[in-house]
Structure 1
């Protein structure tokens, strides 16, 4: 009602919480910007683990290979990687083909380094062997542990808040894998390969965003100090998250969290919608969450509780029902909104609809032809400009006015004509 995207902000306690909201906004074709930080899938630790996933599903992904061959450190230096790259160019072969056949294609390196390379390729092959046996979450967790990524980040997390955040981001990525796995219906593929197709679309969207001036702003509460927005969504109001588990061990730190909560609420000029997740995935297990004590501390007369569309939730203070307005899994759980101090009750985001919403069901991809106008559930309306391949390898190049040309594997595409 007379609002632009610039009027809205989503505030969260930790950077890891941005993932689910980024994914949801993309699906709704709503532009957004992370203020004072990186998009979830652009963070180093996420790109590192995703590189392992990419190499597992495609041994010839040379960018992924170079990213993880010596991460965590395994004594394979820059000179060795350069020698491998030179050999690959000289032999006219992909790097993987060279390093897995060094008797046939010699590369300049000592025997100790060669053994380390062979150990690495053996590990990647063992991951690949599980692609058709394990679902995305089980294999992803196995890779995170066996590669040493989790161990490396865990060892670093006592150094400071940034290190803790990197470890938490990996936990959040694994929560996303779990959500992906459980969201699949019986008979649908929940493989890591299919998850990576979704991720490829998300990272493409990162590249396509550009400098959209009219956008929803997302940021941590710390980053929001001094800023104001017409409508604010303050998300993740749960015990052990806000206030954080660490802060609850100290009265002084709990008070600091309480002051931070005040900062967050006062960023809103007109409405402030408070939400908490009733449950979250933590290391593969669905755990229930308790609403933050900060909600209970607000005088009920300043709150408007959403009426739930599907059954009543837990009552707070006043005994009025708390709505389950977010329906979809967000930030690892199901969010329930209630509106804070406002001139009129905030409607919550359950009424948002995709900019381009298909009226029909999923189209049989065998019927698609060049020139067809289609609707993609993430990129909206587009036109097919090219089709290549057969059967499960059939691909289409589709031009989307707002996102450019996308090369999409049709067996995984959700398209309507």
Structure 2
């Protein structure tokens, strides 16, 4: 007999409802997995045939964990007979049985996303189309979206031809048709086909659909808010024969519309099943009441939702801590300072997480963590300097500075694609090895070597060599900064154009990462100019960054507990004691690209809700007043989501808080100034006032990048005037006032 006494009242009611359809609205941290597990065990305990229970999840890990829990309650013999797994694994099992009805061999194989992109790439080439206009990732995303919406190639051609023509891609429908036909011809399905052909199987064969519907007397679906149109339609097909469907989810955590998820599936459930019962799991077992209340007040601003009022069974806890920084650099300094305080107080590193909206935001936090020797890892991805698009750009930097760098040469000779294949590179390599010279020496003077390369390929290599030689000449200028050269390299190589042309989600992320690299370089160049007046060349920057990228790579290989960095999307389903949600600024979070619509803003608000509810004990929100974008410092507005949160649950600071180990410097008294002067090494040119720049020792200034600080010393005159400044959060800096970007603070 299954003991249900450990469940709370609503959990138990949801478990015991097995006669009518039910919607279990499970708030964050409310134990939805526990309810699903107990419900299945409860059915088995009532002698329901395991083979008549269909339980669907989104991940193999979730399915396996649930099956193990059930097995521990009712035994492995019963648990192994359940129809439990991911949508794709269960539907593949059905299609293997019914393969003849969908026109596939029983042993059909599955293409993963890489296989699918490669097929698209081959078809684009076969059709004589421009692979820059029809990028495999872009095209495959369009095909995937069409399939998830159950749109066939012929329907796509009828509905989307005009749209595709207007966007300069009139052949998308032809590629989709060719892709569809080639998959059938080869006896392969991609992941989306597993949904499409299951739907078509049931749609075209009502008797088969009826047989499976009668077999699956009980259907349970996890994370229903994440289902797409095709998954929803299949569930509808299977649940119209008097069987009982139970879906579990949280509309407030519907954050995957970019993958095709439809929030309407869960919002309209009771319209499709009028006799359905709704159970709301509102007791949060994860977070403190302050965190839960803050999240509740935020999500209530959404118009399209299933109302619920989640509450915590734990302590009240501290309010959300609001951090205001003047720049993204200062934001990182403050956040890492607070992390160091938590670590010093005994908090395990793996219980601390930095959450951000976009991958590109990790860079400044990674660098600050490295500077402070804080072990860390980028969850679900690579550290900033190990990402492919960053390594590609860095390879161009290396080749421009050192043309004999063979690894850099091989990495970029055909990136972006310029028609130089492996055979051509292989012949250049063979000749270089035979003659004892570098690849660059051969490529830059092909006529002097016997490579056997065709005239057309040789012409392409010459164009590449000319590009590198031109960039080398430009980089040789003593007054050409690394930031200037980065812009020229991105422009002249075509990297910027290629990334800008794509609408693929992965390519957008790559573009943002490359832009962040440019921001980092521009910021470093500006800092060095302000502090020393020198121009940072591309070679200077490479020397500076090579050690950092090596350290971050080593950090990723560490095995000790580490602070986590991840996107909010990657954090869904996870929980941590301490969560820092950074970059809360309009335009960044909510993330708005070309347009802003109410549904888009509501999804962004749900994403913020997910971020806050990852925290168990402490949650920090941070924003900056300015941020480097496209190589320039731009003003930022605090995210509207901060104002959406009831102020009763936020501890607001009037100004940026100092980092760990630093005390804020306030307007200095005469006695304090005297002590500062005595503590510093005297200089013959030291003075209290600079009439040229209108500042004096003791003045409070606001710097564009470093925030608030106090001038502690002024030395030299004219263009050489320097100010020593103790900044509240980033420590001591020397500024060459001729270049320094600051204003006097009020």
TM-score range (shorter-chain normalised) is: 0.7 to 0.9
Which region of structure 1 is more displaced relative to structure 2, 302-311 or 225-234?
Answer: 302-311
Paired position in structure 2 for 1:28: 372
Greater helix proportion? 2
Question: Matches of 1:57 and 1:273 in 2, distance apart?
Answer: 42
Cα distance change on mapping 1:43 and 1:262 into 2, 3 Å: same
Post-superposition CA distance 1:341-368 (Å, at most 9, x none): xxxxxxxxx8899xxxxx9x9xxxxxxx
User: How far apart are the structure 2 equivalents of 1:282 and 1:351?
Assistant: 22
* Residues in 2 aligned to 1:265 and 1:125: alpha-carbon distance in whole angstroms: 51
Q: Tell me if structure 2 keeps the 8 A contact 1:55–1:65.
A: yes
SS in 2 for 1:103: helix
**SS where residue 625 of structure 2 aligns?**
strand
**CA deviation vs aligned residue, 1:19-64 (integer Å, no higher than 9, x gap):** 1111111111111011111111111111111111110111011111
Alignment partner, residue 604 of structure 2: 257
Cα displacement (A) at 1:282: 1.8
User: Rg: which structure is higher?
Assistant: 2
**Structure 2 CA distance, aligned partners of 1:352 and 1:271?**
24
What is the rounded CA distance, in whole Å, between the counterparts of 2:612 and 2:466 in structure 1? 52
Q: In the alignment, what sits opposite 2:462?
A: 118
The aligned residue for residue 143 of structure 1 is: 489
DSSP-derived class of the 1:219 partner: strand
Gaps in structure 2 of 5+ consecutive residues: 1-344, 656-663, 667-702, 709-727, 735-746
CA deviation profile, 1:163-211 (whole Å, cap 9, x unmatched): 2111111111111111111110233341111111122112211332223
How many Å apart are 1:266 and its aligned residue?
1.2
Is the contact between residue 280 and residue 334 of structure 1 (CA under 8 Å) also seen in structure 2? no
Q: Does 1:164 align with 2:164?
A: no
- Aligned with 1:204: secondary structure? helix
Q: For the residues of structure 2 that align with 1:241 and 1:18, how far apart are their CA atoms?
A: 13
Seen in structure 2, the aligned counterparts of structure 1 residues 248 and 261 have a Cα distance that, compared at 3 Å, is farther
Is residue 183 from structure 1 mapped to residue 527 from structure 2 by the alignment?
yes
Residue 236 of structure 1 and its aligned partner are, at CA, apart by 0.5
Query: Deviation above 4 Å: which 4+ runs of structure 1?
Result: 350-353
User: Which of 199, 208, 212 does residue 559 from structure 2 map onto?
Assistant: 212
- Give me the whole-angstrom Cα distance separating, in 2, the residues matched to 1:128 and 1:83: 25
One of 203, 215, 233 as aligned partner of 2:549: 203
Offset at residue 121 of structure 1 (A): 1.3
Distance 1:35 1:148, change over 3 A: same
Change (3 A) 1:207 1:281: closer
Partner residue in 2 for 1:83: 427
2:363 aligned residue (1, 5, 19): 19
Aligned-residue offset at 1:247: 8.7
The answer on 1:47 being equivalent to 2:402 is: no
2:645 aligned residue (273, 281, 298): 298
Work out the CA distance in 2 between the residues paired with 1:220 and 1:73.
30
1:153 has 2:493 as partner: no
TM-score normalised by L of structure 2: 0.41
Aligned residue number for residue 319 of structure 1: none
**How far apart in 2 are the matches of 1:8 and 1:307?**
25
Alignment correspondent of 1:380:
none
Contact kept? 1:31, 1:216, Cα under 8 Å? yes
Tell which has more relative contact order, 1 or 2 (C-alpha 8 A, sep 6+). 1
Task: Confirm or deny: 8 A CA contact 1:247 1:254 kept in the other structure.
Answer: no
Q: What does 1:59-74 align with in structure 2 at a 5 Å threshold?
A: 59-74=403-418
* Residue 539 of structure 2 is aligned to residue 193 of structure 1: yes
Matched, 1:243 2:590: yes
Distance apart, 1:288 and its partner CA: 0.4
Q: CA deviation at 1:305?
A: 1.9
The alignment's TM-score, normalised by the length of structure 1, stands at: 0.72
Note if contact 2:370-2:552 (Cα within 8 Å) is conserved in structure 1: no
> What does the per-residue CA deviation read over 1:251-310, in whole Å, with 9 as the maximum and x for residues that have no partner?
011111111101101111111111112112222222100000000111112111235347
Distance 2:394 2:587 in 1: 28
- Offset at residue 248 of structure 1 (A): 6.1
Question: What is the alpha-carbon distance in structure 1 between the residues aligned to residue 730 and residue 486 of structure 2?
Answer: 32
Q: State the secondary structure of the residue aligned to 2:355.
A: strand
- Rounded to whole Å, the distance in 1 between the matches of 2:594 and 2:447 is 57
Shift of 1:73: 1.2
RMSD over aligned Cα atoms: 2.5
